[in-house]
Amino acid sequence: MTPAARISAAIEVLTDLIERRRPAADALKDWGLSRRFAGSKDRAAIASLVYDALRRRASSAHALGEETPRALVLGMLVSQRGMGVEEISELFNGQNHAPAPLTEFEVAGLAAFDLNASPGWARADVPDWLWPSFMAGFGDDAVSEGQALAGRAPADIRANRLKTDRDKLRAALAHLQPEPGAWSPDALRFLPGPDGRGPSLQSEPSFFNGEFEIQDEGSQLVTLLAGAEPAMSVVDLCAGAGGKTLALAAVLGGKGRIFATDLDSRRLAPLHDRLTRSGASNVEVRVPKSRGHDALADLAGTIDLVLVDAPCTGSGTWRRNPDAKWRVRPGALAERVKDQAQVLGRAASLVKPGGRIAYITCSMLPEENDGAVEAFLARHAGFEPVATRSLLDTGEVDFGLLARFATRFGLQLSPRRTGTDGFYLSCLRAPA
């Protein structure tokens, strides 16, 4: 396919996912299945165009005066790819499956493309209804935080301490040119290529051998700072596919006990194979037998550390899922806050006197972070937040620089601040 034909395909995919409000991955998959002529390079290039257009959806629509799929692609070609009107006109010529020629309105909009006078939410590429939350969380830095969140994400992996270390893994993957993570002692990073994709990590022998897991460095970091220690009893309350469960197992070094569960038993399915591959032997997966069944009832009041990877809007992962940014609706935030209150209440019933709850979200919104912790503390007398400085003093690595990103009750990571996805961590100590 020609570059122009790929742009036409991207516009077609965007039309489908916007009109049907469906995930970009689903729309791209259906497009590829119905057009077998498109090779892997074509599909990768089209996916890159689609995701980049979604990253810049608000700014493109505002600058060009319309929110059509075509306008989103045009705006992205200017703001993300640095193209000028003449270069874009050569691609939009209407020939050989190329998009129709530019209209006078489009030419004028592209020539005058300027976001300096645009409202903050448009410059930040954040949904306008969420802008007050971003402002509350980041103040004068809200625009730059949003812009960083609209960038492309690297691929991070975590060296599995049960089988290797970062230096050995880096040597094994030297052909892929990994870089050490800036914060986590287990992290290696692979920067995206021109098409936005990273290497095919899951085809590496070291992956099959369980020597690493794909995990954002921010996710690694908040797990390290949660306070898990060997010989502890730990519950991963919202374990899902088990990324943090596996990281906890590595931190504990095969000692102690980890109980992994999730209210949605289907999400736990991949964890069993991942545990086998990792070599972790101290994890017990507790699968709910039915809706409403408490798989941890026998552990009430006995757990040293309850890790709560809480359900949230996922705003901190928008670099990886830019389509999710535009599918979330105002009512979803209120629902997630309710979910967070429920799961924190469940954690409080599990933790032993003097034990700890590590509350984690992949969110950038204060309602889901400090706001959720403040509401929990008001409901649960005797619980106290662990001082951020204490969280950062792990004895393993000097995390002192992270103190700059402390909030009232915890720590906020972000693409702009730490080069990671947006994660929040607050640790709460139960009354003795």
pLDDT tens, 64-95? 999 999 999 999 999 999 999 999 999 999 99
Provide the whole-model pTM. Answer: 0.94
Active site residue 362: yes
102: closest CA among 73, 80, 81, 139?
A: 73
What structural domains and CATH numbers belong to the chain?
3-114 (no CATH), 217-429 (3.40.50.150)
Which residues make up each annotated binding site for S-adenosyl-L-methionine? Answer: 262, 309
CA 381 to chain centre: 32
Q: What percent of the chain has pLDDT over 70?
A: 100
The C-alpha torsion from 396 through 401 and 407 to 408, rounded to 10°, is 70
Q: Which phi-psi region, left, alpha or beta, contains residue 329 (left: φ > 0; alpha: ψ -120 to 50)?
A: beta
* Amino acid of residue 126: V
CA dihedral 323, 14, 24, 416 (to 10 degrees): -30
The one catalytic residue among 238, 312, 362, 427: 362
Q: What is the pLDDT of residues 212-232, one digit of tens each?
A: 999 999 999 999 999 999 999
**Which phi and psi angles does 65 have, rounded to 5°?**
80, 10
pLDDT in tens, 294-317: 899 999 999 999 999 999 999 999
Give DSSP secondary structure letters for 225-236. TT---TT-EEEE
Residue 417 CB partners (closer than 8 Å, separation 6+): 145, 404, 405
Residue positions forming the annotated binding site: 262, 309
